[in-house]
A = this chain, B = another copy of it.
Amino acid sequence: MTKHPSGTSQAPLPPANRAGCEALDRIDPLSSLRMRFSLPEDVIYLDGNSLGALPEKTAAAMQKTVLHDWGRDLIGSWNSADWVNLPRTTGAALARLVGASPDEVLVADSTSVNIFKLLAGVLALPHIAGDKNRRVIVSERGNFPTDLYIAEGLNAVLGNRFILRLVEPGSVVSAIDATTAAVLVTQVDYCTGQLHDMAAINRAAKQAATHVVWDLSHSTGALPLKLNEDGAEFAVGCGYKYLNGGPGAPGYLYVAKDWQIRLSTPLSGWFGHQAPFQFAPSFVPAENISRFQCGTPSVLSMVALRCGIDTFDGVDMADVRAKSLALTDLFWHLMDQHCAAFGFFCVAPRERTKRASQLSFSHEHAYPIMQAMIARGVVGDFRQPNLIRFGFTPLYTRFVDCWDAVMVIRDVMTSADWRAEKYQRRNLVT
């Protein structure tokens, strides 16, 4: 390790060499958090926005749950290990990260299923369903596809009473008016990393007496969220990205306290009942966030997700945001400096307040370039139609990783080994 140049408490930005990046890591207040993860030595992992890395304590927690709680205590663990409350206790642990009260967050099902629940709930509210002029669901052209697909599917069930209107990112606020039945927006664009102004959109919705369902999949754990303060009423999010909950981890949902007993759920499964174990013949929804549960909670997945959430213990999200911006600043700068000749174009917003914790670069050969990078141990991902995408996860991404990754990109481009036949084939998931 190169020693940090003495005399400066502030490292020079941007660093001109690898040693400068190492110096940034040494003064990074979050640097010790990397030890909370089990990361392969030979990989630079810039894909934590697709699948978060494995927390150090997950394997032991899973073994304890499998061998002791399930294997030894069997059915009794629904009480003794408090499995029955995992959706709420895991949600409560997550609440701080999103700026909500512990009783406003529930872990359940998948993000897609949770969107269905909340959007259906909003569209069934008397002042929405009863207003013939409110027939427009406002969303974004660039929204993550599953959000749009779920809105389509729900609308079909509702007899296509609504029109799904897709607008440009900058036009969401102006698209909200008295015809708006609901707004469905992902706060951070999965391709560009562009960040919406949550408070502004919530204000516009409130003025128009309508409601927003937020998808926080690319926000949660990546930046500070203040759902209560910013006037958010309904939100869903993903457990397997920045929350490090494991592949296909359960999603979560947020319903502001005031709305919990007013919003109905179409997926009225037994765990959403006020008293599931009374086995009553008719559904009576719980009078709290629990009503948005449906089937039996997925215990093993929730235990893993809890370990992921716990990687944020004691971490100030303001520090996460500061490091995230420093990482994206650095990476972008290094790309400009070392890879300008290769035709990459960064599609993220220059303006820091509009940028989340990822960067995507367009390139006509994006797919094989990313494959060649992965072969050299730098893992990002490819996104249609021509993007290489990198996620920066402040809990374990180092400044030196940015340097090393950009050097690999330069190498891949200089050597042109991305032209190799083996990198042209499209995998199903990348």
Q: Which residues of A contact B (CB under 8 A)?
A: 38-40, 43, 45, 47, 50-51, 53-54, 58-59, 62-63, 66-67, 69-72, 74-79, 83-84, 109-113, 116, 120, 124, 141, 144-146, 148-150, 152-154, 156-158, 166, 240, 246-251, 264-273, 276-283, 294-302, 304, 374, 379, 381, 383-384, 427-430
- Which residue in B39, B109, B266, B281 is a CB contact (below 8 Å) of A154? B266
Closest to A116 in B: B267
> Could you list 13 A-B pairs, sorted by A, with CB under 8 Å?
A45-B74, A54-B67, A59-B67, A62-B66, A109-B295, A110-B295, A110-B298, A152-B282, A157-B157, A247-B300, A248-B301, A277-B430, A301-B301
- Which residue in B59, B72, B146, B268 is a CB contact (below 8 Å) of A66? B59
Given contacts A152-B283, A247-B299, 10 further A-B contacts (CB under 8 A): A40-B71, A51-B78, A62-B63, A70-B246, A113-B113, A145-B270, A145-B280, A153-B268, A153-B283, A248-B296
Q: How many copies does the complex hold?
A: 2
Q: Determine the chain B residues whose CB is within 8 A of the CB of A240 once the complex forms.
A: 296
A407 to B43, CA, bound (A): 60
The reply to whether A74 and B62 form a contact with Cβ atoms under 8 Å apart is: no
Minimal beta-carbon separation of A168 from chain B (angstroms):
13
The reply to whether A110 and B110 form a contact with Cβ atoms under 8 Å apart is: no
Minimal beta-carbon separation of A294 from chain B (angstroms):
5
The reply to whether B40 and A148 form a contact with Cβ atoms under 8 Å apart is: no
- Which residue in B53, B144, B374, B428 is a CB contact (below 8 Å) of A277? B428
Known: A74-B40, A112-B267, A294-B113. A427 touches B79 (CB 8 A): yes
Q: Determine the chain B residues whose CB is within 8 A of the CB of A76 once the complex forms.
A: 374, 379
A251 to B298, CA, bound (A): 10
Known: A62-B62, A113-B269, A249-B298. A429 touches B78 (CB 8 A): yes
